[in-house]
């Protein structure tokens, strides 16, 4: 008759092997998910949605150097801020 100790000593290498295989598979799964995420997140921006600054150069210049309040005809101070009073 076999004892519990003998059965445990017989099953111990099999248990450790399965545990190691699970760790290896889990690490490969994590690496695969990271690779897939990096491929999906680093897609190039389509040219049609990119801002072309040559077309918008005049609008950008006006926005940087002009005052919207002055353009609306409201009173403004030297800094282009709304003049109250």
Say which residue, 14 or 25, is predicted with more confidence: 25
What one-character DSSP code corresponds to residue 76? B
pLDDT per residue over 44-83, tens digit each?
666 655 556 666 777 777 777 777 788 788 888 887 788 8
Read off the pLDDT band of 1 (50, 70, 90). Answer: low
What residues does each domain of the chain span?
1-43, 45-85
**What per-residue confidence (pLDDT) applies to 66?**
75
Angle (CA) 30 34 38, round 5°: 170
Q: What is the mean pLDDT of the chain?
A: 79
Report the predicted TM-score, pTM, of the whole model to 2 decimal places.
0.37
């Amino acid at each position: 008759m076999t004892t519990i100790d003998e059965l445990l000593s017989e099953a111990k290498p099999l248990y450790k092997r399965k545990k190691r295989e699970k760790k290896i598979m889990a690490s490969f799964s994590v690496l695969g998910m990271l690779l897939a995420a990096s491929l999906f997140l680093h897609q190039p921006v389509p040219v049609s949605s990119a801002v072309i600054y040559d077309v918008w150069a005049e609008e950008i210049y006006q926005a940087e150097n002009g005052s919207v309040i002055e353009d609306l005809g409201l009173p403004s101070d030297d800094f282009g801020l709304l003049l109250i009073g």
